[in-house]
């Protein structure tokens, strides 16, 4: 069986980080290219129809003037919150208690967990998102459901059981021991199985006792190949709560650092209201932070400092934060990233926005050797963008004087109609 394909379109790939001060945006030209795909991997990119005779009988797919870029990488989601996305008007703690926790209690039911996992990954793929890092619930069944749904589609994903042993309702708390035991068993079952990657996941310091944080820190030390994902400094009242719960901590980040939960493979969601020491430590250890712009505006959390983080060479990913975020679309996430940066006095270039949603998020997840770019040896996870998907976008892009003027309206106004095709490991989904 010939598993080779030649996929043609205007190809966008990155050879450098466009946040570097010397980056030449004019070097990113979108020319018509042929992407040579073999057994789910990109084998090469060329100007001519054939790379070698092995492709003589390959399937050929021509996307015309559509732009082909790496599939979007959503670096922070809560797939169990899919059904409650866009729930009205609460601050973070109220929102969790009113909407999130009651919904998450349903995920002990494997059938319901599987239904929502299937629904979520289909929504993501429909919006051009081919990889994501998701929190599950305290229930191992929720982890099984998510990894299974992703594996059925051959998706590269990160996920883990969310751990909480306090400040959560009855039926939605585990313990220090069960968090450790359940997470360890799930690591052994799923870590690096196919395209699955495990993340140890204390929800955030307020919902974990020091004993649980210590147990999860010990587990991470035993499995340093895993990622660790949690939340950090999302809202000011949350930070005040952390100070009450951990009176001896130097700051919010210290509540993780004390228990061995600060490291290079750590993912810290939101990270809006950081102290100078926290910024220093994140940079020193090479940790990643994840910007969730639609969530931060929807719940009124604050304005993330994208340019400041990048200037400190802190790894930054971007994310929808389903369902605190108000959209499944990474195009909408890029638009909100631009808008929040504008409120901080910085106009991010379209290339920087696309880089954050692909290469940047993949790097934050330590998967940039596999996903997040169109390059030889990478997985053929790709999204095809129609830059004239609606009349309003079409009339603006038609006036563009360069490719970035042509792409920017799709970033700012695009939605699932702009997704002409999505490929996972070379298979159109």
Helices (H), 77-109: 92-95, 101-104
Phi and psi of 388, rounded to 5°? -135, 45
- Tens digit of each residue's pLDDT (9 = 90 or more) over 37-96: 999 999 999 887 666 788 989 999 999 999 999 999 999 999 999 999 998 878 888 888
- Cα pseudo-dihedral 307, 71, 328, 201, rounded to 10: -70
Quick one: which of 306, 257, 258, 250 has its CA closest to 276?
Answer: 250
Tokens of 407: 């792409």
- What is the model's pLDDT at position 166? 97
Residue 400's Cβ-side half-sphere holds a number of Cα atoms within 13 Å equal to 17
Closest of 312, 159, 129 to residue 229, by C-alpha? 159
Rounded to 5, what percent of the chain is helix, strand, coil? Answer: 40, 20, 35
Q: What pLDDT is attached to residue 95?
A: 84
Triad 41, 44, 48: Cα angle to 5°: 135
pLDDT tens-digit profile of 122-167?
Answer: 999 999 999 999 999 999 999 999 999 999 999 999 999 999 999 9
* DSSP three-state, residue 228: strand
List, for residues 352-391, the tens digit of each pLDDT value.
999 999 999 999 999 999 999 999 999 999 999 999 999 9
CB-CB contact of 76 with 133 (8 Å):
yes
Q: What is the band of 2 on the pLDDT scale with cuts at 50, 70, 90?
A: low
Quickly tell me which residue has 């954050």 as its tokens.
Answer: 356
pLDDT of residue 92: 81
Residues 301-314: tens digit of each pLDDT: 999 999 999 999 99
Give the span between the Cα atoms of 228 and 217, in whole angstroms. 9
Average pLDDT over residues 170-196: 97
Three-class secondary structure of residue 383 per DSSP? strand
Six token digits for residue 356: 């954050």
- Enter the pTM of the model: 0.97
CA distance 326 to 362: 22
pLDDT over 90 for what percent of the chain? 90
Among 417, 411, 419, which Cα is nearest to 333's? 411
Helix (H/G/I), strand (E/B), else coil: 321 = coil
Tell me what the pLDDT averaged over the chain comes to: 95
Measured in degrees and rounded to the nearest 5, phi and psi for residue 189 equal -80, -35
- H/E run at residue 130: strand 129-135
- Is the pLDDT at 1 greater than 60? The verdict is no
- Could you give the CA distance from residue 57 to residue 147 in angstroms, rounded to a whole number? 34
* Domain annotation for the chain: domains and CATH numbers: 4-70+373-428 (2.30.40.10), 72-364 (3.20.20.140)
**How far are the Cα atoms of 107, 121, 154, 289, 390 from residue 157, in angstroms, in the given order?**
19, 10, 9, 18, 31
**Which residues have C-beta within 8 Å of that of residue 391, sequence separation ≥ 6?**
none
Residue 26 pLDDT class (50, 70, 90 cuts): confident
Paired sense of beta strands 419-424 and 427-428, if any? antiparallel
**In terms of pLDDT, which residue wins out, 139 or 16?**
139
Would you say how long the chain is, in residues?
429
Number of H helices, E strands in the chain: 16, 16
**Mean per-residue pLDDT, 223-238:** 97
Q: Is 303 exposed, middle or buried (0-12, 13-18, 19+ CB in 10 A)?
A: middle
Q: What is the per-residue pLDDT for 28?
A: 76
DSSP 3-49: -EEEEEEEE---SS-TTSTT--GGG----EEEEEEETTEEEEEESSS
């Amino acid at each position: 069986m010939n598993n080779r394909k030649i996929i043609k379109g205007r190809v966008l790939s990155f050879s450098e980080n466009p946040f570097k001060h010397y980056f030449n945006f004019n070097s990113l030209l979108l020319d018509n290219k042929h992407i040579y795909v073999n057994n789910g991997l990109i084998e090469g990119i060329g100007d001519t129809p054939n790379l070698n005779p092995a492709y003589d009988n390959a399937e050929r797919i021509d996307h015309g003037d559509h732009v082909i870029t790496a599939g979007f990488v959503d670096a922070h989601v809560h797939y169990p919150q899919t059904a409650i996305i866009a729930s009205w008007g609460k601050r973070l703690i109220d929102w969790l208690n009113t909407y999130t926790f009651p919904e998450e209690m349903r995920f002990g039911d494997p059938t319901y967990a599987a239904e929502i996992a299937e629904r979520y990954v289909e929504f993501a793929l429909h919006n051009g998102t081919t990889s994501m890092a998701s929190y599950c619930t305290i229930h191992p069944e929720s982890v099984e459901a998510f990894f299974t749904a992703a594996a059925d589609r051959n998706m590269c994903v990160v996920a883990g059981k969310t751990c909480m042993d306090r400040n959560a309702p009855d039926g939605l708390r585990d313990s220090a021991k069960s968090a450790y035991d359940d997470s360890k068993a799930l690591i052994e079952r799923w870590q690096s199985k196919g395209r699955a990657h495990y993340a140890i996941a204390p929800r955030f310091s307020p919902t974990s006792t020091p004993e649980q944080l210590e147990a999860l820190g010990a587990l991470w030390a035993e499995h340093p190949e895993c990622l660790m994902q949690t939340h950090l400094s999302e809202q000011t009242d949350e930070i005040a709560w952390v100070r009450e719960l951990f009176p001896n901590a130097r700051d919010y980040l210290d509540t993780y650092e004390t228990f061995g939960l600060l490291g290079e493979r750590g993912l810290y969601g939101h990270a809006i209201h950081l102290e100078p020491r926290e910024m220093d430590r994140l940079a020193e250890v090479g940790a990643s932070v994840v910007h969730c712009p639609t969530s931060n505006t929807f719940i009124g959390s604050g304005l993330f400092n994208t340019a400041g983080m990048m200037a400190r060479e802190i790894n930054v990913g971007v994310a929808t934060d389903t369902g605190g975020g108000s959209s499944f679309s990474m195009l909408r996430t890029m638009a909100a990233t631009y808008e929040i940066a504008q409120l901080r006095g910085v106009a991010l270039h379209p290339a920087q926005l696309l880089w954050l949603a692909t290469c940047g998020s993949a790097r934050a997840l330590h998967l940039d050797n596999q996903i997040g770019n169109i390059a030889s040896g990478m997985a053929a996870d790709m999204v095809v963008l129609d830059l004239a998907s609606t009349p309003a976008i079409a009339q603006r892009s038609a006036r563009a004087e360069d490719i970035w003027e042509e792409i920017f309206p799709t970033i700012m106004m695009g939605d699932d109609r702009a997704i002409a095709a999505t490929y996972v490991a070379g298979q159109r989904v």
